[in-house]
Structure 1
Amino acid sequence: MKRAVVLLSGGLDSAVALWLAKSEGYELYTLSFDYGQRHNKEIMAAAKIAELAEVKSHRLVTINMDQWGGSSLTDKSMEVEDGDVDRTDIPVTYVPARNMVFLSIAASFAEAVEAQNIFIGVSQVDYSGYVDCRETFITAMENAINQGTVMAAEHHKPIKVHAPFIYKTKTEEILLGAQLGVPFEHTWSCYRGGEKPCGTCDSCLLRAKAFREAGVIDGAADQQ
């Protein structure tokens, strides 16, 4: 059976990516990260989602990116600002080179389990404009992975980095996820990580907007 490593944060994008890979018949290996973020809500959500998807293996990798901070998600001296759905600048929630780090580790995991596919739920049309969510970055990382793994460079088994939502909006992702049966009620989006979603950070506002535009009921909305 063809195998895929899916980067699973516990949020909407990665959950839909996982269910998409599942629908395409991959044997699934999920990878989540405790990277020193403000809370563990998304880590707990990822574990539950992996269980529901009946993945072959779910791994949690610890990387202490909070040692150097640089983001309101990893540096508690910085505030998570209130959201703005019309934002055009890159917000302080950007974690320096996070997806570069995650994809590098995913490549190591993929080679170890002989998976020729990595799924990541990034979108360059999302509000943030994060540089590590753009197609040029994904293409460059795929090339680096295939130059730097024995499986690809020597055994001629290239690794494909799938970014199926690179040109999709969150609304389109939700519509796809609804068709695939994604358990949205178990996903977590809030940056602040309180007992309940704050409803006012960028992620909460964009989630609410996308569900509203999709005409889909957010099963997690009653948590707010």
Structure 2
Amino acid sequence: MVRPAIVLLSGGLDSTTVLAIAKDQGYTPYALSFRYGQRHVVELDAARKVAQALGVADHKTIDIDLRAFGGSALTSDISVPKHDTLDEIDATSIPVTYVPARNTIFLSFALAYAEVVGATDIFTGVTAVDYSGYPDCRPQYIAAYEKMANLATRAGVEGEAPLRLHSPLIEMSKADIIREGLRLRVDYSITSSCYDPDEQARACGRCDTCLLRLKGFSEAGVTDPAPYRNVSV
């Protein structure tokens, strides 16, 4: 029996692992990516490669211009913060790379797509362990959104099965995520996590997400196969 599921796919390490997990659990994935006015299209190129490599029923890229609002280093001319070590990151405040309401916006599109293809499952790669402190990556947020989804949709009211919002990585460290991905034969060389890659799609190695990714690979005992500039991995 076909079990359709919507998978939010950014082309990064986490969402790629989630796609592999959804497939491993027997779902037929419909991947959803967004061109939302982010600083670069490297992650969208990565998402396309990942969707092709892992095999999805369909892969849609939706255009949303969040640069109209700005408010983030990813959707405006604010500089992406760079650090030499993770210790330099202020863990007590939400970083400027947070895009206001981004996950809520993305999940609303996933919710609509799920109703159209008859899916009662949505997968997202949020994590609350090794992450940048975003408020929409917390377990409380995921639980609240799932509850809302079952109140706000025809499928939630009339459907035989409630809609489920899966966040399989939420309690996992970056190293554990990488180990799980390697178990599922994920090719991390085609993924892109960097907030500020260069024109050759090489990661900067110094933004928050690069440092977290490199830490994860180090703790997992493997080398990150993704390209970096001026960084020894």
The reply to whether TM is greater than 0.5 is yes
**What corresponds to 1:96 in structure 2?**
100
Alignment of 1:82 with 2:82, yes or no, is yes
Secondary structure class of the residue paired with 1:60: strand
What is the rounded CA distance, in whole Å, between the counterparts of 1:24 and 1:67 in structure 2? 38
Render the CA deviation track for 1:42-61: whole Å, top value 9, x for unaligned. Answer: 00100110001110000000
Render the CA deviation track for 1:164-206: whole Å, top value 9, x for unaligned. Answer: 0111111110010011111100000110121221111111111
For structure 2, the residue ranges without an aligned partner over 5 or more in a row are none
Contact 1:40 1:193 in 2 (8 A): no
Contact 1:175 1:216 in 2 (8 A): no
**What corresponds to 2:163 in structure 1?**
159
Shift of 1:124: 1.1
What is the rounded CA distance, in whole Å, between the counterparts of 1:115 and 1:27 in structure 2? 10
What is the rounded CA distance, in whole Å, between the counterparts of 1:21 and 1:127 in structure 2? 21
**What corresponds to 2:177 in structure 1?**
173
Question: Which piece of structure 1 moves more, 191-200 or 163-172?
Answer: 191-200
Shift of 1:209: 1.1
Contact 1:110 1:118 in 2 (8 A): yes
What is the rounded CA distance, in whole Å, between the counterparts of 2:131 and 2:110 in structure 1? 25
What is the rounded CA distance, in whole Å, between the counterparts of 2:130 and 2:215 in structure 1? 12
**What corresponds to 1:56 in structure 2?**
57
- Identical counterparts, % of pairs: 47
**What corresponds to 1:186 in structure 2?**
190
Secondary structure class of the residue paired with 1:59: strand
What is the rounded CA distance, in whole Å, between the counterparts of 2:133 and 2:80 in structure 1? 17
Alignment of 1:215 with 2:216, yes or no, is no
Render the CA deviation track for 1:47-87: whole Å, top value 9, x for unaligned. Answer: 110001110000000100110101000002x0001135233
What is the rounded CA distance, in whole Å, between the counterparts of 1:7 and 1:50 in structure 2? 11
What is the rounded CA distance, in whole Å, between the counterparts of 2:224 and 2:5 in structure 1? 28
Shift of 1:222: 5.9
Aligned length in residues: 223
Secondary structure class of the residue paired with 2:7: strand
**What corresponds to 1:126 in structure 2?**
130
Contact 1:10 1:43 in 2 (8 A): yes
Please report the RMSD computed on the Cα atoms of aligned residues, expressed in angstroms.
1.3
The alignment's TM-score, normalised by the length of structure 2, stands at 0.92
Q: Which runs of 4+ in 1 moved over 6 A?
A: none
Q: Which amino acid is the alignment partner of residue 136 of structure 1?
A: Q
Shift of 1:155: 2.6
Alignment of 1:198 with 2:199, yes or no, is no
Shift of 1:90: 1.6
Question: Which piece of structure 1 moves more, 47-56 or 147-156?
Answer: 147-156
Secondary structure class of the residue paired with 1:58: strand
